[in-house]
A and B are shown apart, each in its own frame.
Chain A
Amino acid sequence: MSEFLQIYAENWSDWWPQLVPAMWNTVALTALSYLFAVVLGIILALGKLSKIRVVRALCKSYIEFVRGIPALAILFLLYFALVPLGIVFNSFTAAVIGLGMNQGGYMAEVFRGGIEALHKGQREAALAVGMTPVKAYRNIIMPQAIRIVLPPLLNMLINLLKDTSICSLISAPELMLRAKDIASMSFRPMHIYLLIGVLYFTMAWPLSMITRRVEAHMHRGRRSTV
């Protein structure tokens, strides 16, 4: 055991300065793709509830398709398969777009669930007191829907953080890729990957705690109203 830890002590000054920027890249990748996914998810959810048939069908088939294929397949499609067609992304951009496109499909369902969970009367009442449909969405529907969708959205953030690791397979500069590089240079895969596991965990755990708090809070709120 002490021998095992000795390795960390010996190599720490070499490894740590490489891992810190990689962690920041992972955080940036998570944040950007999450933002992309939220925007896309809202657009798709509204599209799926739209009155125009073509819009509804388009959004629905996008959601079905994206939910049916692995995130890795989307990343490979964006990064490798578009090159012969003349569209070249750098790996980081492809990672942001790919993860965003993937999570956006799931988020759309969450948002739609949130919007649909609200009683229809809410919207009708808002329109009846003279709000425009946009105002009704912004001031009545959205604030309530967010309460419903927040717990699953937070869970998705945790999943997204972990999913960024697969972007190493299209060589996007993040934690897992750096870990692979260090492992192949130092021949210490067990040490590196365990350390990386701990690092991912320290990033995900606070989020996980917050999620549990929010879940408990929302649950309490709902019970008291009934």
Chain B
Amino acid sequence: MLEFLPFDPWKAVQFSQVLLRGAIMTVQITAGALVIAIVLGLMMAVIKTSRVRVVRFLVDAYIEIFRGIPALTLLFILYFGLAYSGLQIKSVPAAILGLGLVGCATLTEVFRSGFEALHHGQREAALAVGMTPIMAMRNIILPQAVRITLPPIGNYAIGLLKDTAIVSAIAAPEIMFYARNLVTSTFDTTTIYVLAAILYFCLSFPLARIVSRLEERRRSWQ
């Protein structure tokens, strides 16, 4: 009936059902890694404002190291390396942890530039009215910084969503993993990988729209 199509539509539907199962895992891994990256990144950005030199140096070292190592290498260290050393982590937690640790370095920089974008008078005024440095950070700096950093965090989340494709290499059952499995059982490479690409696009495109909305809003009140 539909012979004019370059692919078998019935098969494409079947493939999509399998890939969609992976999409749920993709979203879960993205969300997990995002939470780790935001929490750790925010903590490290706050720590980086510290006056203690050693502490600042440690944070900088962390950022530099994780900026220089591919996420895939870190995933292999966590999944294969640690297993060999006797500490077995399952693939999904390893994926979340690995991507989260890499993302933390990125987000620390994002939060830091968010803090710096605020006028230093804000902090000084907060201290002048008798707030402790911690109170000033929590009540004055952070709420404003979060608003400024929301668009770059959104951009990071989109990048993260796409980066989750590589965790198929440590057998975390997400979209790419199911795609590769389907390929080995059906050999229909073209249909499957095109579907996988479309699926990723469908996940990331709405996010991208939201982020550009946020960016426009930010531009309007700046």
Interface residues of A (CB under 8 A from B): 64-65, 67-74, 76-77, 80-85, 158, 162-166, 168-169, 176, 179-180, 183, 187-190, 193-194, 196-197, 200-205, 208
Question: Given the complex of chains A and B, what is the CA–CA distance between A70 and B193 in angstroms?
Answer: 11
A164, B71: Cα distance in complex, Å: 11
For the A-B complex, the count of residue pairs with Cβ-Cβ distances under 8 Å equals: 126
Closest to A76 in B: B193
**Chain A binding surface SS class:** helix
What's the minimum C-beta distance from B97 to chain A, rounded to whole angstroms? 15
C-alpha gap A179/B168 in the complex (Å): 18
Interchain CB contact under 8 A, A76 and B76: no
Interface string of B74-90 (1 = CB under 8 A from A): 10110011111100000
* Residues on the A chain within 8 Å of B183, using CB: 80
Which of A163, A190, A197 contacts B69 (CB under 8 A)? A197
Contacts of A201 in B (CB 8 A): 65, 68-69
**Are A81 and B72 in touch, CB under 8 angstroms?**
no
A68-B204, A77-B194, A190-B84 as given contacts; A208 in contact with B72, CB under 8 Å? no
Other A-B pairs, 17, CB within 8 Å; known A70-B165, A71-B165, A80-B193: A69-B162, A69-B200, A69-B201, A70-B163, A70-B166, A72-B176, A82-B190, A162-B68, A166-B166, A166-B169, A183-B76, A189-B80, A194-B81, A200-B70, A200-B73, A204-B68, A205-B64
Residue in chain B with minimal CB distance to A205 = B68
> CB within 8 A of A194: which of B67, B77, B166, B208?
B77
With A65-B201, A72-B166, A81-B194: A176-B73 Cβ-Cβ less than 8 Å = yes
Q: Name 11 A/B residue pairs within 8 A (Cβ), A-sorted.
A: A77-B193, A81-B193, A158-B67, A169-B169, A179-B73, A179-B76, A188-B84, A190-B82, A193-B80, A205-B64, A205-B68
Q: Does B189 contact A (CB under 8 A)?
A: yes
Query: Separation in Å of the A218 CB from the closest CB of chain B?
Result: 15
Question: In chain B between 70 and 129, which residues have their CB closer than 8 angstroms to a CB of chain A?
Answer: 70-74, 76-77, 80-85
Neighbour of A70 across the interface among B69, B83, B84, B162, CB < 8 A: B162
Q: Which residues of A contact B194 (CB under 8 A)?
A: 77, 81
B197 near A: Cβ within 8 Å? yes
Contacts of A180 in B (CB 8 A): 76
Chain B interface residues (CB < 8 Å from chain A): 64-65, 67-74, 76-77, 80-85, 162-166, 168-169, 176, 179, 183, 189-190, 192-194, 196-197, 200-201, 204-205, 208
Contact of B176 among A73, A158, A164 (CB under 8 A): A73
Q: Is the CB of A70 within 8 A of B200?
A: yes
Secondary structure class of chain B's binding surface, majority of residues: helix
Inter-chain CA distance A85–B7, complex, in Å, is: 12
Whole-angstrom CA separation of A166 from B65 in the bound complex: 19
A89 to B91, CA, bound (A): 31
Q: In angstroms, how far is the closest chain A Cβ from the Cβ of B176?
A: 6
CA distance A194 to B65 in the complex (A): 12
Given A70-B165, A72-B166, A169-B166; A64-B205 close (CB under 8 Å):
yes
Closest to A176 in B: B72
> Please, how many angstroms separate the alpha-carbon atoms of A203 and B190 in the complex?
35
| Cβ B73 vs Cβ A67 within 8 A | no
Contact B189 A80 (CB under 8 A): yes
**Are B69 and A81 touching (Cβ within 8 A)?**
no
Q: A190-B85, A194-B77 are in contact. Are A163 and B70 (CB under 8 A)?
A: yes
Inter-chain contact A165/B84, CB cutoff 8 Å: no
Closest chain B CB from A32 CB (angstroms): 18
B200 contacts across to A, CB distance below 8 A: 68-70, 73
- Inter-chain CA distance A72–B71, complex, in Å, is 13
A81 and B81 within 8 A (CB): no
B80 proximity list for chain A (CB < 8 A): 183, 189-190, 193
Shortest Cβ-Cβ A-B pairs, 9 listed? A190-B81, A204-B68, A70-B165, A165-B70, A201-B68, A70-B162, A162-B70, A189-B80, A68-B201
